[in-house]
């Protein structure tokens, strides 16, 4: 693949050989792709380097089975700032702007380490990294990590490919979203050649929900989903009190933003939730309707064409009102097509 040209890969390999302290980091609220790409690389590097994964915050229970997971440090850990400051090389995986690591941002930007970004979000931050492997056409960072390792001549363990498979599955919605390309299937095919139980991974991700999550999903669908057929749009807004009533745990609302997309003619959905003193906003779309530009313009965020997010310190009802008020304008192209 072009972004991993031989010349650049040779330089990266030489740089890797020259360092011993390596840190791998990924974005706030890590998902299957952030964790999968980080752990796949970590499980390889830790055999020969002083390597750590440091993440801005904790990982959801859904992913705690992943090999190497219990060795991940979070930023609040007292050792983390020292380890990051001493790192000679930092891998920036599944994000492309320093603000995505939240409280780690300053330390990351100030670090003099050789920084290597491998990511699939559009618009990478300029000047952050020595090496930028940015490919928005890739379905997952795990897809790129596989290709990167292949180009570097790294042979991954079964533990590592299980992690990569997790990221492929979660970022493509089990290979159903449009981002799933011929290359994604090729990478998945090469990974599937390894001897591991793929259905067990699906089971860990999709069949290990809490009872609270299932009941919260029922509540959200019957009481909280607001549909605007005229705008081909829908939203769900959830207060902290409502989530707490169902014994909310991190990860319990994962994927809720996608639920209204199963309605015929709904092409644009939003999910708003009070969390950690802010409103987390998630957006999804079907087809060529772009949500990252909406997230960026109105909700202090960004992301992919069909999956984006943002945040706000304003009250939930203010954010919902903003969303409803922009619908006539932002859905114009959807209405013309239908």
Task: Please give the residue ranges that form the binding site for ligand 5GP (CB under 6 A).
Answer: 121, 257, 282, 301-304, 307-311
Q: Which does 274 bind (CB under 5 to 8 A by kind): Mn ion, ligand 5GP, none?
A: none
Ranges assigned E (strand) in 184-258: 225-228, 233-238
> Minimal distance in Å, beta carbon 284 to ligand 5GP?
7
Closest residue to Mn ion, based on beta-carbon distance: 33
C-beta closer to Mn ion: residue 141 or 285: 141
C-beta closer to ligand 5GP: residue 26 or 89: 26
Q: Within 10 Å of residue 182's Cβ, how many Cβ atoms?
A: 7
C-beta closer to ligand 5GP: residue 102 or 242: 102
What CA–CA distances, in Å, run from 83 to 75, 78, 92?
10, 10, 15
Q: Which does 36 bind (CB under 5 to 8 A by kind): ligand 5GP, Mn ion, none?
A: none
DSSP code for 32: H
C-beta closer to ligand 5GP: residue 68 or 309: 309
Closest residue to ligand 5GP, based on beta-carbon distance: 309
Q: Which does 260 bind (CB under 5 to 8 A by kind): ligand 5GP, Mn ion, none?
A: none
Pairing of strands 278-285, 233-238: unpaired
Between helix 198-206 and helix 158-171 the angle, nearest 10°, is: 50
> Minimal distance in Å, beta carbon 97 to ligand 5GP?
6
Radius of gyration for the chain, computed over Cα atoms and rounded to the nearest angstrom: 20
> Minimal distance in Å, beta carbon 312 to ligand 5GP?
10
153-160 contacts at long range (C-beta below 8 A, 24 or more positions apart): 153/13, 154/44, 156/40, 156/43, 156/44, 157/43, 157/44, 158/194, 158/195, 158/196, 159/39, 159/43, 159/67, 159/68, 160/39, 160/40, 160/41, 160/43, 160/44, 160/67
End-to-end alpha carbon distance in the chain = 38
What CA–CA distances, in Å, run from 148 to 4, 65, 142, 170, 315?
7, 25, 10, 20, 43
Say whether residue 143 binds Mn ion (CB under 5 A). Answer: no
> Minimal distance in Å, beta carbon 309 to ligand 5GP?
2
The span of 28-36, 146-154, 274-282, 308-316 binding Mn ion (CB under 5 A) equals: 28-36
Distance CA 136, CA 133 (A): 10
Q: Which does 139 bind (CB under 5 to 8 A by kind): Mn ion, ligand 5GP, none?
A: none
> Minimal distance in Å, beta carbon 142 to Mn ion?
8
Distance CA 46, CA 28 (A): 23
SS3 call for 61: helix
List residues bridging with 26 in a β-sheet: 93
Report how far Cα 295 is from the mean position of its chain's Cα atoms. Answer: 15
The span of 20-28, 78-86, 89-97, 319-327 binding Mn ion (CB under 5 A) equals: 89-97
Identified binder of Mn ion from the candidate list 28, 33, 62, 124, rule CB under 5 A: 33
> Minimal distance in Å, beta carbon 16 to ligand 5GP?
27
C-beta closer to Mn ion: residue 205 or 237: 205
Identified binder of Mn ion from the candidate list 22, 39, 90, 94, rule CB under 5 A: 94
C-beta closer to ligand 5GP: residue 156 or 295: 295
CB-hemisphere CA count at 13 Å for 44? Answer: 24
The span of 2-10, 33-41, 69-77, 220-228 binding Mn ion (CB under 5 A) equals: 33-41
- Which of 68, 71, 80, 69 shows the shortest CA–CA distance to 43? 68
Binding mask 148-167 vs Mn ion (x if CB under 5 A, - otherwise)? --------------------
Q: Which does 32 bind (CB under 5 to 8 A by kind): Mn ion, ligand 5GP, none?
A: none
Q: Which residues bind Mn ion (CB under 5 A)?
A: 33, 94, 141, 171
């Amino acid at each position: 693949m072009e972004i991993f040209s031989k010349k650049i890969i040779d330089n990266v390999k030489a740089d890797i050989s020259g360092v011993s302290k390596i840190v791998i980091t990924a974005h706030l609220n890590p998902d299957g792709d952030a964790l999968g790409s980080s752990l796949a690389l970590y499980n390889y590097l830790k055999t020969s380097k002083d390597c750590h994964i440091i993440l801005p915050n904790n990982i959801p229970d859904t992913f705690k089975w992943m090999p190497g997971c219990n060795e991940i440090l979070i930023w609040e850990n007292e050792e983390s700032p020292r380890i990051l400051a001493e790192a000679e090389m930092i891998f920036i995986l599944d994000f492309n702007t320093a603000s995505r690591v939240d409280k780690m941002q300053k330390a990351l930007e100030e670090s003099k380490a050789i920084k290597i970004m491998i990511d699939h979000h559009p618009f990478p931050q300029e000047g952050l990294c020595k090496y930028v492997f940015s490919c928005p056409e890739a379905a997952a960072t795990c897809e790129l990590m596989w290709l990167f390792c292949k180009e570097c001549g790294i042979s991954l363990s079964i533990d590592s490919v299980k992690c990569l498979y997790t990221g492929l599955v979660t970022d493509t919605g089990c290979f159903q979203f449009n981002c799933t390309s011929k290359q994604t299937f090729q990478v998945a095919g090469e990974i599937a050649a390894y001897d591991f139980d793929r259905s067990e991974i699906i089971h860990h991700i999709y069949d290990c929900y809490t009872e609270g999550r299932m009941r919260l999903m029922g509540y959200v669908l019957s009481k909280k989903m607001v549909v605007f057929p005229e705008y081909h749009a829908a939203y769900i807004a959830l207060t902290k009190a409502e989530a707490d009533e169902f014994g909310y745990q991190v990860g319990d609302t994962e994927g809720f933003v996608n639920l209204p997309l199963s309605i015929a003619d709904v092409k644009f959905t939003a999910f708003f939730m009070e969390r950690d003193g802010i409103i987390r906003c998630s957006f999804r779309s079907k087809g060529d309707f772009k949500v990252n530009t909406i997230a960026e313009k109105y909700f202090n965020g960004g992301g992919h064409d069909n999956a984006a997010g943002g945040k706000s310190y304003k009250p939930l009802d203010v954010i919902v009102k903003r969303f409803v008020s922009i619908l006539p304008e932002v859905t114009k192209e959807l209405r013309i097509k239908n």
